[in-house]
A and B are shown apart, each in its own frame.
Chain A
Amino acid sequence: GENVEQHPSTLSVQEGDSAVIKCTYSDSASNYFPWYKQELGKRPQLIIDIRSNVGEKKDQRIAVTLNKTAKHFSLHITETQPEDSAVYFCAASLSGGYNKLIFGAGTRLAVHP
């Protein structure tokens, strides 16, 4: 079946450093790629998304890049802050529509003051 691989599974950075999380997807029909942030005990919350007709998207300190040829996309967080500490999930839309998503296994980001 289709899958999304996410790396690394854990990431530890110092406050102010950049963090990069990478995902690879298998469904060539995927055209929508959201990223979710989940704090401990909370719901996943959408932080940024990108569609297949765009190569890069930025929102303040976060950016996402997409390489459709290689089937991978990445999340970049600059000037990290302790409140960025959370688990981040990438996802890719599945063929067949209805906004179905397949999620990566998650990356636990720890930002140390």
Chain B
Amino acid sequence: NAGVTQTPKFRVLKTGQSMTLLCAQDMNHEYMYWYRQDPGMGLRLIHYSVGEGTTAKGEVPDGYNVSRLKKQNFLLGLESAAPSQTSVYFCASSGQGNQPQHFGDGTRLSIL
């Protein structure tokens, strides 16, 4: 039982490049979330999904897109990377009801 798995763990991009971050969970959770973590700012919600085929905007959605084609996977895309998107990205999932969120190990992304 791996829980929440994120790939890749590290990535360096040049400004304007695109990439996709993958999150996979094996807990059969309905809800999945993408956060970014910046120094001194805690975790901020980018987008979330409440079930297969659904997505919704969080607190800081601009510059990102997401897709949830399969229940176990939640993808975060950067279409045209900007230096301001340099951050550590965490994926999380939770079951229905007031259940805790379980986090992946994060992806450290640097945009040059």
| Chain A residues near B99 (CB-CB < 8 A) | 99
Known: A1-B59, A44-B103. A99 touches B98 (CB 8 A): yes
Band of interface residues on B: 20 to 34
User: Distance in Å from the Cβ of A33 to the closest Cβ of chain B?
Assistant: 10
User: Distance in Å from the Cβ of B43 to the closest Cβ of chain A?
Assistant: 4
Residue B101 contacts which of A6, A99, A102, A104 (CB distance < 8 angstroms)?
Answer: A99
Interface Cβ pair total, 8 Å cutoff: 54
Tell me the interface secondary structure of chain B in the complex. loop
Known: A51-B98, A98-B48, A99-B98. A43 touches B90 (CB 8 A): yes
Task: Give A67-96 as 1s and 0s: 1 = Cβ < 8 Å from B's Cβ atoms.
Answer: 000000000000000000000010101000
Q: Can you name the residue of chain B whose Cβ is closest to the Cβ of A48?
A: B100
Q: Interface size (A, Cβ < 8 Å)?
A: 26
| Chain A residues near B104 (CB-CB < 8 A) | 43
Known: A43-B90, A93-B98. A103 touches B103 (CB 8 A): no
Residue B41 contacts which of A31, A43, A105 (CB distance < 8 angstroms)?
Answer: A105
| 6 A-B interface contacts by CB (under 8 A) | A34-B101, A42-B105, A43-B103, A43-B106, A100-B45, A105-B40
